Structure 1
Amino acid sequence: MDLSELQTASTIGDAWKYPQRAANRSGFLQVDHQPDHTLSWEEYGNPAGEPVMVLHGGPGGACAPVMSRFFDPARYRVILFDQRGCGKSTPTVALAGPEVALVRNTTDHLVDDINALRDALGIAGPMHVFGGSWGSTLALVYAIRHPHNVASLVLRGIFIGARQDLDYMYQGNAATFADAPFELTAPGSYIAYPDAWKAFVEIIPARERSDMMAAYKAIFDAAPTDDEDRARQLHAALAWSVWEGTISNMIPQASDPGKFGDAEFALSFAQIEAHFFANHLFLEPDYILGNVDRIAHLPIHIVHGRFDQVCPLTQASRLVDALAGVGATPARYVITNAGHSAMEHQTALALTAIMDSLAPIR
C-alpha cells in the first residue's frame, strides 16, 4: 500500500455547504465594571433573520469567523461573541493577567452576558442557541435559567463537567506515568494519544502528578517574578492548550497545532479553563442533569462524535438519560464517526443539516 493514500485529516476541509462571508457588523459591549469586561461580537447572515446565539467552547476558546458557516446566511442572523477574558474581548487573561481578567468571570456572569448582548442587539423574542463542548454546558445552563428566550438548543460534544469527565482528559494514568508510562492504570484520553500525553504529563514533576489539574493551576496562579517564571508559565499554558487541541480531532494535526500553539491564545485558554475547572464550573453538583425538567419542552438537538476524547460520548448518554427521566427525548441525537471538534467532517455536516431543518421561529 502506498502510504500517501492514508487519510491525513478528519476535518471538513472544502466540503462546507455555505461559503465564508464577511461579518455584517461588529462591535464591543461593556458588560461589567472593576474590571471593565467588554465583549467582542460579530453579526453574520441576514440582519432580519432568525437569531442564533453561538456559544464557543473552552471556556476561553473564543470564536472564529468559520463558525458562521454552519448557518444559511439567507435565513439566520448569527451572533458570534468572545466570552470574558478571551479572544478579542477585554481584558484578556493573556495581556491583563489572571488577577484582573478572572475577576467576576464565572458561569453566572457569562449567562448574564448573553442577556446583555441580546438586549444590546435588539433580540426580544426566542432565539436558537448553538453551542459545543463548554458551549453546550453554557447553552444548557442558559436554557435552564431562561427557557422563554430559547427556541431550540443545538448542542455538539456534550460537556457535563463532572470530576470524572475532567479526570478522563487531564488525569488518566499520570500518577503512575513515571514508573509505567504505557500501562492502562486508569481510563483516559491518553490511551489514543500517547506522545501528546507524554508532553502534557512531563510538565509536572512526578511527585505532583496525583492531581494534574491542581498542579497546573498552581503554576498558573504563581505570580511570575522574572523571565524564567514567565517562561515556565507560558510553557505550561502551551502544553495544556496543545494537549486539548491535539486530541480534539480524530486525526490530529500534530505538525500544526494552529491557534492552540499560539502563546497569547494558550495563556488565556489554559488559565480560564483551569479557573473554571478548579471551581467546578461555578455550578452546584449535578446542576444540569438535575434541572433538565426545565428544558424538557424545548427542541434539543445533539451531535456527538463517537470517538470524542475531549468529551467522551458517555456525557451525551447521561444527558439523554436524564431527559428520558423527565419524559423527554431529544429532537435529534446524531452520533457521528468523528472526534470532538466542530470542524470534524461528519459533525460539521450534521450540524449544518440540523440548522437547515429547524422549525422556523414564530
Structure 2
Amino acid sequence: MSTRAQQLDEILYPAIEPYRIELLEVGEGQQLYIEQSGNPQGRPVVFVHGGPGGGTSPWQRRYFDPEVYRIILFDQRGCGQSTPSAADGADLSLIDTPRLVADLERIREHLDVVRWLVFGGSWGSTLSLAYAEAHPDRVVGLVLRGIFLLRRWELDWYYNRGGAQNIFPDLFDRYESVLPVAERDGDHIATFHRLLNGQDAPLAQDAALAWTEWESHTSHLLVPDDAPLSSAELAEHRRFALTFARIENHFFVNGGFMRENQLIEDAGKLAGIPGVIVQGRYDVVCPARSAWELHQAWPDSQLLITPDAGHASNEVGTARSLVEATDGFREFSF
C-alpha cells in the first residue's frame, strides 16, 4: 500500500456496506440508483457526486461518521448505476440542472428526510449550490470542495486554450490531439460535442477517452502514474468515459442550463445556512478564484484552502479537511 493510501486510511472512516439499495423512478423513463449506509436513524447527509456524469463509488461513504450519519449516495441521471445510461445513447435532452435539482427533492421526499447536510465537490458543488438556492429550507449546511460555478471563463480556462494548457502542456496536447488540426484554435467544447455525438463510434470513443483522461490526469497536484488495466478494467474504463464525456460536454455546451454567474448572484438565498468550502490551492480544474468569490458572496461560509493539493478529493490535506468539516456538523440540529 502506498504512503498516500495509508494516510487516507488513517483519515477516512472505515469502509462500510450499504444497508439499503434501490432504484427510484423519477419520471421520463429515468431510474436513479440510491444507497444508504451508516446509521438508519442518524443525521441525514446526501453526497452529490461530480462530473456531471461521474457517478458514486464505495469509498465516498468514508467521509462521514457512520455512527452519526445516515449516509445517502445516489447516481445522477444517465450515469453510474442509474438507467438509462449515456453510454447506451440515453436521451440527453432529459438531463439538465433543473431536473437534477428536482431529482434531489424527490429523493429527499422519498426517504422521508426533513432537512439534510449536503456534501458535494467539483460539479457536485455546482449542483449542491443550485439545490440549496432553490430549497434553502431543506438544507442544514453545505460541505463543498473544488468549487465550480460553471461560468464561461471557467470552461475556457480548462477546456479551451485559456490557461490550464500552460500548466500541463503535454497533457493538453494529448487531449487536443483527437481534434481536427484546423479546429484546434476554436471552441474545443463545441468540437468535442460533435465528435462525441456523431455517427463515427470509434471516433466518439477516442474523443471520450481524451476528454476524460485530460480531467483525470490533471486533478491531482502530483500527476499519478498510470497503472496498467486488465481487459475487463479497460472495457469498464471505456464505457465510463463515454458516459462521463457525453454528459459533461452536454452540460457545458448548454452553459450548465443556468444563466451566467447565477450561483453567485443568487448566493443571498444561502443566508443563514452554514457551510465549509475546501479548496486546493493548486486546483487547475477549478481554480481557487471561484471558491474565493463564493466565500465573499456567502458570509456564512468558512473557506479552507489546502496548501498542498489540486482538485481531487482524495488528496491527503483535502480529505482531512472534508472529514473535519463533516465531523463539525455532527452536533447540528437536523
TM-score (normalised: structure 2): 0.93
Q: Find the partner of 2:21 among 13, 20, 26.
A: 26
Distance 1:103 1:146, change over 3 A: same
- Does the CA-based 8 Å contact 1:311-1:340 persist in structure 2? yes
Q: Does 1:109 align with 2:99?
A: yes
Q: Deviations over 1:230-271 (max 9, x none)?
A: 111101001100110111111122413988981111001000
Paired residue for 2:303? 333
Give the whole-Å Cα distance in 2 for the aligned partners of 1:11 and 1:291. 41
Please tell me the residue identity of whatever aligns with 2:10: A
Most deviating of 139-148 and 253-262: 253-262
Give the whole-Å Cα distance in 2 for the aligned partners of 1:163 and 1:150. 28
Q: Deviations over 1:19-42 (max 9, x none)?
A: 101111111001012xx1100011
Q: Offset at 1:16?
A: 3.0
Q: Does 1:318 align with 2:318?
A: no
Paired residue for 1:87? 80
Distance 1:198 1:11, change over 3 A: farther
User: How many residues of Structure 1 are paired with residues of Structure 2 in the alignment?
Assistant: 326
Pairs within 5 Å for 1:1-362: 13-33=8-28, 36-95=29-88, 97=89, 100-123=90-113, 125-172=114-161, 187-209=162-184, 210-222=186-198, 224=199, 229-256=200-227, 262-323=237-298, 328-330=299-301, 332-336=302-306, 337-358=308-329, 359-362=331-334
Identity %: 40
Please tell me the residue identity of whatever aligns with 2:105: N
Q: Offset at 1:9?
A: 5.9
Please tell me the residue identity of whatever aligns with 1:133: S
Give the whole-Å Cα distance in 1 for the aligned partners of 2:58 and 2:15. 8
Please tell me the residue identity of whatever aligns with 1:353: E
- Does the CA-based 8 Å contact 2:4-2:316 persist in structure 1? no
Give the whole-Å Cα distance in 2 for the aligned partners of 1:10 and 1:308. 20
Please tell me the residue identity of whatever aligns with 1:247: T
- Does the CA-based 8 Å contact 2:273-2:300 persist in structure 1? no
Report SS of the residue matched to 1:86: coil
- Does the CA-based 8 Å contact 1:12-1:346 persist in structure 2? no
Give the whole-Å Cα distance in 1 for the aligned partners of 2:225 and 2:12. 27
Return the index of the structure with the highest Cα Rg.
Answer: 1
Give the whole-Å Cα distance in 2 for the aligned partners of 1:214 and 1:254. 30
- Does the CA-based 8 Å contact 1:10-1:344 persist in structure 2? no
Report SS of the residue matched to 2:266: helix
Please tell me the residue identity of whatever aligns with 2:104: I
- Does the CA-based 8 Å contact 1:41-1:81 persist in structure 2? yes
- Does the CA-based 8 Å contact 1:151-1:298 persist in structure 2? yes
Give the whole-Å Cα distance in 1 for the aligned partners of 2:195 and 2:129. 31
Question: Which segments of 5 or more consecutive residues in structure 1 lack a partner in the other structure?
Answer: 1-6, 173-186
- Does the CA-based 8 Å contact 1:338-1:346 persist in structure 2? yes
Question: Which segments of 5 or more consecutive residues in structure 2 lack a partner in the other structure?
Answer: none
Give the whole-Å Cα distance in 2 for the aligned partners of 1:340 and 1:257. 23
Please report the RMSD computed on the Cα atoms of aligned residues, expressed in angstroms: 1.9
Give the whole-Å Cα distance in 1 for the aligned partners of 2:68 and 2:208. 40
Report SS of the residue matched to 2:9: coil
Report SS of the residue matched to 2:11: coil
Report SS of the residue matched to 1:14: helix
Please tell me the residue identity of whatever aligns with 1:117: I
Please tell me the residue identity of whatever aligns with 2:217: T
- Does the CA-based 8 Å contact 2:292-2:303 persist in structure 1? no
- Does the CA-based 8 Å contact 1:86-1:268 persist in structure 2? yes
- Does the CA-based 8 Å contact 1:305-1:313 persist in structure 2? yes
Most deviating of 314-323 and 161-170: 314-323
